[in-house]
Amino acid sequence: MSAKKKEIKPLPVPVYFWTVVIFALAGLADSVYLSISHYRVYTDIGYTSFCAISRTINCDTVSQSPFSIFLDVPVPVWGIIGYAFFLLWMPLAWSRGMERRRIWTILLLLSLGFSLYSIVLAVITTFYIHSYCIMCILSYGINFFLLYYLWLMRKRFRCESIFKALRQDFDFLGTKKIQVGTIFLPFLIVVGLTTLFFPHYWDTIPTEGSVSLLTGVTEDGHPWIGARSPELVITEYADYLCFQCKKMHYYLRKLITKNPDKIRLVHRHFPMDHEYNFIVKHPFHVGSGKMALFAIHAAAKGKFWQMNDILFGIAGKAQEIDVKDLATQAVLDYPALLGSLNDPKSRQQLKVDIWQGMKLRMTGTPSFLIDGKVYQGQIPPEIFKKVLN
Statement: residue 57 has pLDDT above 70: yes
Mean pLDDT of 68-73: 94
Q: Which amino acid is at 346?
A: S
Query: Does the structure show a pLDDT above 50 at 349?
Result: yes
Cα separations in angstroms, 361 against 100, 123, 273, 375:
70, 38, 17, 11
Q: How confident is the model at residue 169 (pLDDT cuts 50, 70, 90)?
A: confident
**The most confident of 57-71, 167-181, 261-275, by mean pLDDT:** 261-275
pLDDT, residue 318, reads: 64
Residue 382 has pLDDT above 80, yes or no: yes
When pLDDT is averaged across residues 354-360 and rounded to a whole number, the result is 95
Q: Does residue 62 surpass a pLDDT of 50? A: yes
Domains and CATH numbers, the chain: 13-197 (1.20.1440.130), 210-385 (3.40.30.10)
pLDDT at position 381: 87
Average pLDDT rounded to a whole number, residues 312-338:
89
> Cβ distance 114 to 82 under 8 Å?
yes
Report pLDDT for 118: 97
pLDDT tens readout for residues 28-47: 999 999 999 999 999 887 78
pLDDT, residue 179, reads 85
Share of the chain above pLDDT 90, in %: 65
Please tell me which residue, 96 or 66, carries the higher pLDDT value: 66
pLDDT tier, 388 (very low <50, low <70, confident <90, very high otherwise): confident
Task: Determine the average pLDDT of the residues in 115-131.
Answer: 93
* The pLDDT of residue 86 is above 60: yes
Tens of pLDDT, residue by residue over 101-114, are: 578 889 999 999 99
Name the pLDDT band for 210 (thresholds 50, 70, 90). low
If one counts every other C-beta atom within 10 angstroms of the C-beta of residue 72, the result is 12
Among 310-314, 317-321, 368-372, the minimum mean pLDDT is found in 317-321
pLDDT at 229: 93
Judge whether residue 152 has pLDDT over 50: yes
3-state secondary structure the chain: CCCCCCCCCCCCHHHHHHHHHHHHHHHHHHHHHHHHHHHHHHHCCCCCCCCECCCCEEHHHHHHCHHHEECCEEHHHHHHHHHHHHHHCHHHHCCCCHHHCCCHHHHHHHHHHHHHHHHHHHHHHHHHHCCECHHHHHHHHHHHHHHHHHHHHHHHCCCCCHHHHHHHHHHHHHCCHHHHHHHHHHHHHHHHHHHHHCCCCCCCCCCCCHHHCCEEECCCCCEEEECCCCCEEEEEEECCCCHHHHHHHHHHHHHHHHCCCCEEEEEEECCCCCCCCCCCCCCCCCCHHHHHHHHHHHHHCCCHHHHHHHHHHHCCCCCCCCHHHHHHHHCCCHHHHHHHHHCHHHHHHHHHHHHHHHHCCCCCCCEEEECCEEEECCCCHHHHHCCCC
- Whole-model pTM: value is 0.81
Average the pLDDT over 353-360 and give the result. Answer: 95
Pairing mode, strands 263-269 and 232-238: parallel
**Mean pLDDT over each residue of the chain, to the nearest integer:** 89
At residue 263, what are phi and psi to the nearest 5 degrees?
-120, 140
Which is more confident, 389 or 238? 238
* pLDDT reported for residue 1: 45
The model's confidence at residue 5, banded by pLDDT at 50, 70 and 90, is low
